[in-house]
Structure 1
């Protein structure tokens, strides 16, 4: 069920995958916008050869205006990891192309040249086929298809051709292309989800790996600064884990790591917090929007949960485990490495104070 939900709607994606997909869409929109800006301007010279004299200048001006808008999209680099802005960029890309098509079709109709000019009738099919370039959820594909189909219906209505055989054929072809392009787009999303999991997940615990934790911590720090929100990190170390492995074996150690990972998943806020394996028996959790008091409460809850949990090791015994935690909240102007260093210093103070506790960084 979950794989279908991930393909149906972007709302089911994690906060961190949304960052990845948004940046992917952002880069592709920029490349395509630059390409279209060049082609729209260059095609003016082709229009001088193909178009009748009466419509050359209006359409040339429309091409130049759309080129400027495409260049604006190319230069719009602010917040590339924002899902809302990524979808807005994509929508603007389609709307600029659609607006140019609507204007050029209306101009050709008014001057009586619509059927005598080659190429312009294929614009709707080209636009809807472009969906295949982007990794989109099913509901996003349906939304774009509905929008472009409505534009085509309005265009046919303005021509007075709505309902005739040629128009019905065009509408049918448009929907067939939408199905093909939409299928390719959803497949892209599925492939991106699979690759994202393989590249960013720890194979033993299923948590984020060190690379994803550091990347997303950097992104969340930037977002929280922009929104004037706090952000905290918890750095964990399982107490006396080396001795545990020596006594019970590495298979027992893996069971403890998986159990601790499950505890972190349950304590994390869905789609907001990111728990990850930092290396060996060390874990790190990113808590966007949390101040020192809230982060300390989470650390205390994790300590209490660990005290009440036992696991069955391969020898048949049931054993418990505890963790020491360093808590640090981002300071103004602080870098990622400085934040983690303070959390690490707090963690060592917690261990020096007797373990099985959390310590707030200075």
Structure 2
């Protein structure tokens, strides 16, 4: 996928990167929610000296209610890796701040204090600047900006100053802040994408490295249990690879590893499956939502592709290679290490049975 498209919309991201971004967002929302919960309640004391008496109580109640909501957002720890819940957390954060601003502004306008109270006019600028805290795609930045501009337009309409110089200045300032904050948010997303690739990719094959494959297997297992859907893993070992290296050299071995990685990529479902280098000539593929029978079809297809191809090595020769595969399906209550152990046992059964085949774990 082209980098500009990755920054334009989050739809093209793999669900593994989405999990990373979602957890990053989850942690930031928690910290900001706790800060806002404290500030909203503490500011009641400031309002006591700044606000006229006839609006102090309703605004204080609004502050307490918003503080309680932010505390609820802070303690909401359900599914921190979920992209949908990450987006919902962000929206709730912005919407509650916007709702408090709209309510307090309307109250000040009704009681004729809107021009005499300092501080409340700056809420829209603060809210739109908060975009810079999160790694957002361009589409998400535009959506938040349009929402906040719409709220400002409605507020100006209720004040009756829509089209006046001061109102136009406010809209212009909001747009400028949106561009700056949006630029920072998109840059955060770009930086997160770059760091994610550097930290999670195997340098030789371009597949996921061992760290990522294990982390995402953990996440996929949790999601599988929550959704009560199956999950399968395939553990691969290239047959007689040590002898291949001794015969043709390590450069030839690297070519085979990269070629095999390409085969695995072709047999993964986009945005669903994850293939990674587990170590040396061992590879692991995670297949969310697949039963043992479905995973066996994938294993057979990969084994067949390996048998049919030949790779040209530096000596000029064309050589073939095969792989043995262990297939295991997640059992209820099973841990990650137990699942991989069963796949490993199935792999060695395949090797003991003559190699170049797959075995399904019990």
Residue 283 of structure 1 aligns to a residue whose secondary structure is strand
Residue 2 of structure 1: how far off its partner (Å): 1.1
Runs of 4+ in 1 over 6 A off after TM superposition: none
Segments of structure 2 that go 5 or more residues without pairing to the other structure are none
Q: Which residue of 1 aligns with 2:270?
A: 270
CA distance in 1, matches of 2:308, 2:148: 57
Q: Which residue of 1 aligns with 2:196?
A: 196
Q: Pairwise mapping of residues 80-229 of structure 1 onto structure 2 (< 5 A)?
A: 80-229=80-229
Q: Pairwise mapping of residues 309-328 of structure 1 onto structure 2 (< 5 A)?
A: 309-328=309-328
Deviations, residues 171-227 of structure 1 (Å, cap 9, x unaligned): 000001000000000000000000000000000000000000000001000001111
Deviations, residues 133-179 of structure 1 (Å, cap 9, x unaligned): 00000000000000010000000000001000000000000001000
Q: Pairwise mapping of residues 244-263 of structure 1 onto structure 2 (< 5 A)?
A: 244-263=244-263
Residue 116 of structure 1 aligns to a residue whose secondary structure is coil
Q: Which residue of 2 aligns with 1:11?
A: 11
Q: Which residue of 1 aligns with 2:27?
A: 27
Residue 6 of structure 1: how far off its partner (Å): 0.6
CA distance in 2, matches of 1:6, 1:294: 31
Residue 48 of structure 1: how far off its partner (Å): 0.3
Residue 50 of structure 1: how far off its partner (Å): 0.8
CA distance in 1, matches of 2:328, 2:53: 70
Taking structure 1 as the reference length, the TM-score comes to 1.00
Residue 115 of structure 2 aligns to a residue whose secondary structure is helix
Q: Which residue of 2 aligns with 1:301?
A: 301
Q: Which residue of 2 aligns with 1:341?
A: 341
CA distance in 2, matches of 1:246, 1:15: 39
Residue 79 of structure 1: how far off its partner (Å): 0.4
Residue 31 of structure 1: how far off its partner (Å): 0.5
CA distance in 2, matches of 1:308, 1:9: 39
**CA root-mean-square deviation:** 0.5
CA distance in 1, matches of 2:185, 2:160: 33
CA distance in 1, matches of 2:238, 2:229: 30
Q: Pairwise mapping of residues 285-300 of structure 1 onto structure 2 (< 5 A)?
A: 285-300=285-300
Residue 23 of structure 1: how far off its partner (Å): 0.3
Taking structure 2 as the reference length, the TM-score comes to 1.00
CA distance in 1, matches of 2:264, 2:103: 55
Residue 33 of structure 1: how far off its partner (Å): 0.3
CA distance in 2, matches of 1:173, 1:182: 14
Residue 120 of structure 1: how far off its partner (Å): 0.5
CA distance in 1, matches of 2:70, 2:267: 45
CA distance in 1, matches of 2:142, 2:265: 33
CA distance in 2, matches of 1:283, 1:2: 27
Residue 115 of structure 1 aligns to a residue whose secondary structure is coil
Q: Are 1:242 and 2:251 an aligned pair?
A: no
CA distance in 2, matches of 1:116, 1:329: 67
Q: Which residue of 2 aligns with 1:41?
A: 41
Residue 54 of structure 1: how far off its partner (Å): 1.1
CA distance in 2, matches of 1:18, 1:196: 11
Residue 274 of structure 1: how far off its partner (Å): 0.3
Residue 302 of structure 1: how far off its partner (Å): 0.1
